[in-house]
Amino acid sequence: MQRGIKVLLGIAGGWIPQSILINLTGQHFLFPFYHTVSNTPLPHVNQVYRVRSFASFTRDLDFLTGHFQPVGLEELRAFRKGAGKPSKPCMFLTFDDGLSGIYDIVAPELLKRGIPAAFFINTDFIDNQDLFFRYKASLILDRLEHNNYPRAVLENFQRRYHLMRAGRINVRELVLGVTYRRRAELDEMAKLVDLDFTAFLKVKKPYLSSTQISELARSGFYIGAHSRDHPLFSDLAQDEQFFQYRDSLTLVQQEFGLTYGLFSFPFTDEGVPPSFFTALSAEGTPPMDATFGTAGLKEDPVDFHFQRIPMEVKKIPASRILKGEYTYYLLKGLLGRNKITRE
């Protein structure tokens, strides 16, 4: 709903120059985020979000760097400390999930352009040890689609999961509806479509290896944590939230010799209680500079937590996504509703 409004506003507000939107909103520090870039379809990702092609990604970069100065951790730290309005609008670019396209496609292009970025890693998936449960769901659906939803397989799903009908929609809903807690069910469903996740990980290597991550860190990119295995934090008990946060952040810091700490919440930080953020700021270890959410252009009451803009919205270019976000921000501002509230 909110996404649809932003898309429409991106079209309606298309005539307003970006620089004016930045001044009207006072939002001079931008946090765009992506996952990966690929010119070929990625079956593990396809059903989860829309991947940018290299051409559209570079068009996004042209637009973004035309309006925002790419900056690194130093500028982010200064901003966090309340340095105020930067001399030029700036952006801190980030990528979630630690996919191999970062090493093959994204990083070389960013290096060429001199753009700093942070890559957030799920530590359980480094070296292709395991696969994010949503990517498993995507692979199952991709296999079904590829074979045009065979009747016999749909009927197997119907019997096994007591579905009302052996229809495509029923099976799609079932597969996409599997939550983190029930993720083991996806391993069972994979058997019904003759899919082997271990073989997929071994052959396709969808994730970065530790050697590649080390090299990215040596090249000057920032490495952050994105939890151990990508749960929805609001579904976890608080001790599990701390475990996912501390364990993944400590591991990337130790493994890659980092002196800073960056963490992006998997999915969203919505529903994470204020007490969690209070505890993080009180803790000295692991070191933490900033954490990130995915709520779009919004102000956050937590001074080290920054809301980012999802950039993989259909095939909509960065220029329109940002116009949508900024125009939406202006309208919400009239209602005084641009600040995140947590309880």
**Which residues contact Zn ion (rule: CB under 5 A)?**
96-97, 266
Q: What element of type H or E holds 277?
A: helix 274-282
Nearer to Zn ion, 96 or 269 (CB): 96
Nearer to Zn ion, 97 or 142 (CB): 97
- DSSP annotation of 37 reads B
Tell me the residue number closest to Zn ion, measured at CB: 96
Nearer to Zn ion, 75 or 96 (CB): 96
Task: Write down the least CB distance from residue 97 to Zn ion, Å.
Answer: 4
Q: Count the alpha carbons within 13 Å of 339 in the hemisphere toward its beta carbon.
A: 6
CB contact burial 192-227 (16+ within 10 A = b; e otherwise)? bbebebeebbeeeebbbeeebbeebbeeebbbbbbb
Neighbours of 74 (CB within 10 A): 9
Task: Write down the least CB distance from residue 265 to Zn ion, Å.
Answer: 9
Task: Write down the least CB distance from residue 258 to Zn ion, Å.
Answer: 19
Question: Tokens 């890559």, residue?
Answer: 119
What is the C-alpha radius of gyration for the chain, rounded to an integer number of angstroms?
A: 20
Cα–Cα dist 123/126, whole Å = 5
Nearer to Zn ion, 60 or 96 (CB): 96
Nearer to Zn ion, 266 or 286 (CB): 266
Task: Write down the least CB distance from residue 121 to Zn ion, Å.
Answer: 10
Give the strands of the sheet with 309-310, arranged side by side: 305-307, 290-293, 262-264, 222-225, 117-121, 93-95, 32-34, 309-310
Task: Write down the least CB distance from residue 204 to Zn ion, Å.
Answer: 18
